[in-house]
Amino acid sequence: MTQPTTPPPALVDSHCHLDFPDFDQDRGDMIARARAAGVTRMVTICTKLRSEPAVRAIAEAHDGVFYAAGTHPMSVASEPMATTDELISLAAHPKFVGIGETGLDYHYTAESAEAQKTSLRIHIDAARQTGLPLIIHARDADDDMAEILSSEHRGGGAFSCVMHCFSSSAALAHSALDLGFYLSMSGIAAFPRSTNLREIFAAAPLDRILVETDSPYLAPPPHRGRRNEPGHVVHTAAVGASIFGLSESDFAKQTCANFDRLFSKACV
């Protein structure tokens, strides 16, 4: 007698970019593969507000796919500055679940640092007013990021936040966690040389961890170097389970619970 197959544990890909042209040829099949792997929900991220209609259409077309929108810090110099009212208006959509991604990136675009700071504060204000989580991109800007998040949260009013694709310093992790924020684990945490990053995650509270792909980027082993997709979050989650000494099922349950707490609008 054939034994019933145990379904994979349910997971959430908390950050992906399903509108990117990398998926134009097989978007539906890719989403189906993710579901078969146990990925029951995905948040697809709009990085330029002029792309919001296309990102929204993907979310509307697929059960379990939600979306967020903002202006990526690397695009601030080339895109119109978002307004708080504009972001609040977008947030009225039932599948719009987060503000961003926004943040600071001084690795490639340090020349637009002041504009990035202005944009970040606008997104923070929208997150504060809507009650939706802020989605932060941070690269080579740890000191400014910690200062702005702390001063805005403690001085301007509380808001919720996830440090997406976290790969910054332990100091920034501590600053974010002290504010009650979440750290999201991407495929970078599964790279063999990411020992220090895994140690940062291991020191964080388990109830403040999310998992993501950031697809089509940063595919974890065994797919490293190829296009990433939401179904590959299972490999990052397996590494996360190992970091915390949990079964893959228990880690999946915990990260789903964490996601539900932070992205409460995406609960289904």
Give the CATH number of the domain where residue 87 resides: 3.20.20.140
**pLDDT score recorded for residue 2:** 54
Q: What number of residues does the chain have?
A: 268
**What are 135-178's pLDDT values in tens digits?**
999 999 999 999 999 999 999 999 999 999 999 999 999 999 99
Examine residue 61 and state whether it is found in any structural domain, yes or no.
yes
Number of domains in the chain: 1
Q: What's the average model confidence in pLDDT over 102-108?
A: 97
Examine residue 73 and state whether it is found in any structural domain, yes or no.
yes
**Binning pLDDT at 50, 70 and 90, where does residue 267 land?**
confident
* Binding-site annotation: residue ranges for a divalent metal cation: 15, 17, 101, 137, 164, 214
Q: Is the dihedral of CA 37, 13, 51, 21 positive or negative?
A: negative
Contact 75, 106 (CB under 8 A): no
**pLDDT score recorded for residue 8:** 86
Nearest alpha-carbon partner for 168 in 180, 150, 186, 152: 186
Q: What's the average model confidence in pLDDT over 192-207?
A: 97
**Binning pLDDT at 50, 70 and 90, where does residue 45 land?**
very high
Examine residue 1 and state whether it is found in any structural domain, yes or no.
no
pTM, whole model, 2 decimals?
A: 0.96
* Binding-site annotation: residue ranges: 15, 17, 101, 137, 164, 214
Examine residue 170 and state whether it is found in any structural domain, yes or no.
yes
Examine residue 144 and state whether it is found in any structural domain, yes or no.
yes
Quote the percentage of the chain above a pLDDT of 70.
98
Examine residue 248 and state whether it is found in any structural domain, yes or no.
yes
**pLDDT score recorded for residue 3:** 59
Residue ranges making up the domain that contains 157: 11-266
Examine residue 164 and state whether it is found in any structural domain, yes or no.
yes
Nearest alpha-carbon partner for 42 in 92, 25, 23: 23
Examine residue 2 and state whether it is found in any structural domain, yes or no.
no
- Give the three-state DSSP class for 169: coil
Strand order across the 161-163 sheet? 11-16, 39-46, 65-69, 96-105, 134-139, 161-163, 182-185, 209-211
**pLDDT score recorded for residue 114:** 98
**What are 217-258's pLDDT values in tens digits?**
999 999 999 999 999 999 999 999 999 999 999 999 999 999
**pLDDT score recorded for residue 4:** 56
